[in-house]
Amino acid sequence: MAGSRTGMDQQATPDRSLAELARQLSLQTTELARHEVELAKAELRVKGKRAGIGAGMFGGAGALGLYALGALTAAIIAGIAEALPVWAAALIVAALYGAAAGILALRGKSKVQQATPPVPEQTVQSVKEDVRYTKQRAQEARQ
C-alpha cells in the first residue's frame, strides 16, 4: 500500500480486505500508543522541572537563613542593644529571621505544589478522547 494514508480518518472502502483493515488498525494503534507515551514523557519533564525549582527554593531558604544568621546577627543585635537589653535585641532579630525563612518556605511550597500530582494529565485526557473516538467510529461502522 505504498502512497496510501494510515491516518485514523481514512474511510474503509468495500474492496479492502478484513486482513488489510486489521493490519492498518494494528499499525495505527501502535503509532497512537507511541505518541501517547511521548506526550506523557514531555509532560512529566515539565512537572519534574517545576518540582526541582521548588526544592531549590527550599534549599535557598535554608542557606539564606544560615548566612543571615552568621553575617547580620551580631551587627543587628549590637545596634538594638543600644536601646534594649542584649537578650531582647537577640529575640527580636531571631523573630525577623524566622519570618523571612517562613516566607521563602511558603513560596517554595507553592512551586512544589504546582508540579503535583506527577500524573501526565494531558496524556490521560488525550487517551480518553482517543478511546471515545474509537468507540464512536466502531459504532458507526456497525450501523
pLDDT in tens, 19-70: 888 888 888 888 988 898 888 888 888 888 888 898 899 899 988 888 877 8
Quote the domain boundaries for residue 86.
41-116
Residue 85 lies in a domain: yes
Whole-number percent of the chain with pLDDT over 90: 18
The distance in angstroms from the start CA to the end CA of the chain is 27
Nearest to 51 by CA among 122, 121, 111, 119: 111
Residue 67 lies in a domain: yes
Domains: count for the chain: 1
- Cut 0.85: pTM above it: no
Residue 33 lies in a domain: no
Lowest mean pLDDT among 10-24, 95-109, 118-132: 10-24
CA 88 distance to own-chain centroid: 45
**What pLDDT does residue 15 have?**
65
From the DSSP assignment, how many helices (H) and strands (E) are in the chain? 3, 0
* Per-residue confidence band for 13, with pLDDT thresholds at 50, 70 and 90: low
Residue 86 lies in a domain: yes
